[in-house]
Amino acid sequence: MDILVVLALFGLVFAAIFSLLVRRVWMRFRMIAIAVPAGSDPQAFHYKLTEAIRSFGYRPDPGAGPSAGFCSPGWQKWAVGLQDISVLPDVGGAVLITGPALNVSRIGKVFTGVTAQPYNGRQPVWPLIKGCIRIFAVLLVLLAACGLAAYLTVGP
């Protein structure tokens, strides 16, 4: 009976830690939208915005259409399913930037007068899950390779 109590406590602690980690990861990689005031000089604003987005490794997407699109780095898209950033044209003196909270919130800190906007689109749940599974699989393969290497060098 004591073993069951210890296992139940261990399971509860594990579930609590895991749920906190999932929440922390979700808050970083969920999609958000912010409105950035364009200012009086559109060319300087466009340059500053482009450089702020490119500083995180994003590259311009030539086929984005009327909105400016920036593709996320390939390794981040593979590892955690990082989504692209889109910049909608100037509406009412502000530019709407949509993308992962991890980078869009840091882009918002570069400018003054930024306001959070509601994001009603789809959230990238499945790409994030696939990315986490990939990272777990890579770590599992590395652990198995290290175990095999230790077994072959030390011997039975």
Q: How many CA atoms lie within 13 A of 68 on its CB side?
A: 16
d(CA 14, CA 27): 20
- Region 33-37: mean pLDDT is 91
pLDDT digits (tens, 9 = 90+) for 114-125: 888 898 888 888
pLDDT digits (tens, 9 = 90+) for 50-63: 899 999 889 888 76
CATH of domain 30-154: 3.30.160.110
**CA distance to 35, 36, 58, 90, 109, per residue, from 113 (Å):** 9, 7, 23, 15, 9
| Structure confidence at residue 33 as a pLDDT band (50, 70, 90) | very high
- Region 69-78: mean pLDDT is 87
Q: Where are the domains of the chain?
A: 30-154
Q: What is the DSSP string of 19-57?
A: HHHHHHHHHHHSEEEEEEE--S-HHHHHHHHHHHHHTTT
